[in-house]
Chain A
């Protein structure tokens, strides 16, 4: 008949050690404690007996012979090299990856050139609109100031132009800082739109620009000489388009390859 243990906590601790006790995995002192406890505790003695029985049943589980030989054949071992259909695809994929990397690199170079060449606001605007959509939209959210309607891309010129050309344009800047005169903005709109023309491929940037047209920047963009020297705009646009295309191609190829 199971006795209620006199010391419940000690009993619980002993109980947790019974499996290790049966397995012969207790330290000598722990083992001695269990052995001292057992004679006075029927539930623990039962648990020990049950554990021994379970252990014996598990040990008695029949061992299955190997159902066949698991020897490795040279063909199994050599499996990684001869993948039949795949070599063709990877070669193509490598080319696509190379094309993507090259066009992105070229885009970065031309983009940097067009930024640092100190060109007109037009260049700056086109550049940030098509070449660096992310930074463009980032900057735009910064300037949530004097919201006004209209001329998409030109707004980003506000960010590039002051950085490059603000000293000479000091007056223009301060003038434009005030929520600006309507006629000015009206005048700026068509020309800025024309500037944005080649960059329109990049829907991203254009959308970003549309969200955010501070009027002040319009005036500024218009102030700056737009027809200044080297025109990287088309290059940036073309390379941007090429980059998007090649990256999309690589993505598609990778997805297809992983599915098969």
Chain B
């Protein structure tokens, strides 16, 4: 019955386990935006995020026989986070000029996407805020960035974040606390983000 509309994740997973690449590609299409956005926010650079996304799906396909059920989306995001971490490590090893945290190269800006139908002033501020937040995020330790993003961008509860990050709920709690504290400190030092600054300082 449900197949007539949209096959469930579980169904697609079991077909994939039987070797159906088409079924797996349905999952890819279902979750590629989520996976890509997490990689993009974790890495901060589009080409690298694309690489990490592709690698994540490839790695997911190869390890699908070991997937024991549960939330497919979380499982994919966990793989994506690991791939992003590897990608960052590879870039760091390749040389400091590739380091992403403080660069303001042309690759940074496109992360802030225009939203259709927005008025001029709001749009400019949103661009600036989005850019500022992304830069601030990149200054956090990877685990804190991951926890904050999964909570605030992807809307996950601590329990699910802990499962994705492979850590305890207590650890997630303290990562989010420290991550946000640091974000607030960084952002309140940026005079160009007036609106946000005003709000952050209460």
Contact = CB atoms under 8 A, between A and B. Distances in A.
Contacts of A142: none
A19 interface: yes
A67 B126 contact: no
Given A53-B200, A57-B196, A70-B28, A64 B40 contact: yes
Residue from the set B50, B130, B155, B180 with the largest chain A CB neighbour count within 10 Å: B180
Given A23-B158, A61-B41, A71-B25, A50 B202 contact: yes
B13 interface: no
A10 interface: no
A69 interface: yes
Contacts of A71: 25, 28-29
A84 interface: no
Interface in A59-100: 59-72, 74, 76-77
B46 A67 contact: yes
A7 to B, nearest CB: 20
A67 B113 CA distance: 12
Contacts of A65: 33
Secondary structure class of chain B's binding surface, majority of residues: helix
B149 interface: yes
A62 B126 CA distance: 9
B89 interface: no
B79 interface: no
A133 B173 CA distance: 58
A51 interface: yes
A62 B46 contact: no
Interface stretch (B2-10, B52-60, B66-74, B91-99): B52-60
A55 interface: yes
Interface of A: 16, 19-20, 23, 25, 45-47, 49-51, 53-55, 57-72, 74, 76-77
Interface in B1-60: 21, 24-25, 28-29, 32-33, 35-37, 40-41, 46, 50, 53-54, 57-58
Interface residues of B, number: 49
Contacts of B142: none
A64 B115 CA distance: 10
B189 interface: no
Nearest to A79: B58
A53 B193 CA distance: 13
Contacts of A55: 152, 180
A17 B130 CA distance: 27
B37 A72 contact: no
A51 B114 CA distance: 25
Contact of B36 (A19, A61, A64): A64
B63 to A, nearest CB: 13
A67 B50 contact: yes
A64 B32 contact: no
A69 B36 CA distance: 11
A16 B57 CA distance: 37
